[in-house]
Structure 1
Amino acid sequence: MNNEVEYISSVANPRVKQWAKLLERKYREREGKFLLEGVHLVKEALAAGWPIEVVAYDEGSEVADLFAQEMESVSADPPTWVSVSPDVIAKCCETESPQPIFAVAYKRPITKEALFRAEQGLVVVLDGVQDPGNVGTIVRSAAASGATAVVLGKGTADLYNPKTIRSTMGALFHVPVLEVDLREVLPEAKLQGVAVAGTSLQAARSCYDYDFRRNVWLVFGNEGSGLSHQVSELIDDHLIIPMTGRAESLNVAMAATVLLFEAQRQRGLASKM
């Protein structure tokens, strides 16, 4: 390593206290930072060039060997590497048995204009999806299927909640995610010619009969109550996912994944025709 690494052992250390506060949303919003827990997320963030303030790792583990190349990085703005005790790891991580490394990352501001840059956009919109695991899984599916952005409306779980971050499996580093007022952005999208579609158990139109090869936004609602009334009124096309087996409905993350990969299928076929 280029420089001697600082060692912090006490959870009473002022820096540790500041890091641990980022487990709470109000401090994440105030500081513009969030925590990344575990080898995979830290690796993904570093590989993606995400802005990171500090990487803290357990000095007694072998995890440093996995990051030898990253520690020697001569990038323009490398993170500070800090060696810490297991107690510090436990203080700053939400999981019961945390991995021996975490990072403090900066939020990356994304403007609303990013939603309208692609000629054939595929944007996922979440209206009050409250479960962090569902939100993280949808972000992961969006990145995997080539979606151009994810929009989080009012009442949706915080993207930077540690549970949400873990569920994305690093996908948040590869697709723009914005928090916006859906009552403002959906009408704007419609004025720009975007087709706005949502799922509904009462819909008659199959998602497999829908044309996803245009500029389209897919809207998904709350796990229990579905789309809010205000957002539902802005939907152009209500779609249903046909089910030949016996199940009342699909989990919102599963439904989003089905539609996203149907869109990918159609767009992939269209590009080869």
Structure 2
Amino acid sequence: MKKPILITGASSGIGYELAKVCAAHGHDLILVARREEPMKALKAQLESAPPPVQVLTYRADLTCAATRQQLFDWTQTQTQGKPLYGLINNAGFGDLSEFAKADWDKIDAMLQLNIVALTHLTRLYLPGLIEQQQGRIMNVASTAAFLPGTYMAVYYASKAYVLSFTEALATELKDTGVTATTLCPGPTYSEFQDRANLGDIPWFNDSTLPTAADVATFGYSAMEKGQRTAVHGTPNKVLTFATRLLPRKQLANIIGQMQKDGLDTKITSEA
């Protein structure tokens, strides 16, 4: 395979678009997601367009540790033991809910996918990248990583972990030839809103939101440059800088006010 990149959460949204961008730059791909049909359609699309690339798909629920190990073992077979060029940990989800009333199974799955799976896959693939003295890791976080996320407390906290973990990892990898990048998009037009029940929050319904393709193009460029933290879009850069100036309590109140409308609508619809 030619400079293969593994992308999780590749069946929709930013992961789907990242696959297109990586293929356009000549990378062979290993696509991983729970939904197989969208990956198969994407595989057919990418392999029929120039430049010629090879695309492998792997259906997996990455919340399971055994499945993650099976994925690693399978990729070792497919690449004949050669390391990947890149690992993009994109899979993740959120949920709008008061923490005290949130479904524990959903919280547990979110922690397993957003934090544990990302960390485990990085640990599995990183030694091979270091051994070949070149490679790219990109972990997809969010501008949520910089904020206390009232009514999405676990999701925001999970993205804060991704940011902190990847920044520390980037420092450990200095002079190895391997880089670690945290991609931090803000609100983006994708399927994320539907799964997280965010449809009634005004700032997720803005027609001017960047597309997943916009974020993917930006993210790939940042990854190739070895950029440590890549915040997409000027408004989001301003936002993340402003978080250093405001008290955390005030930030939590602001986020709570912005997300309360969506929570109230969700509660009404479920009543």
State TM-score, norm by structure 1: 0.32
Q: Which has the higher strand share?
A: 1
Bigger Rg over Cα: 1
State TM-score, norm by structure 2: 0.33
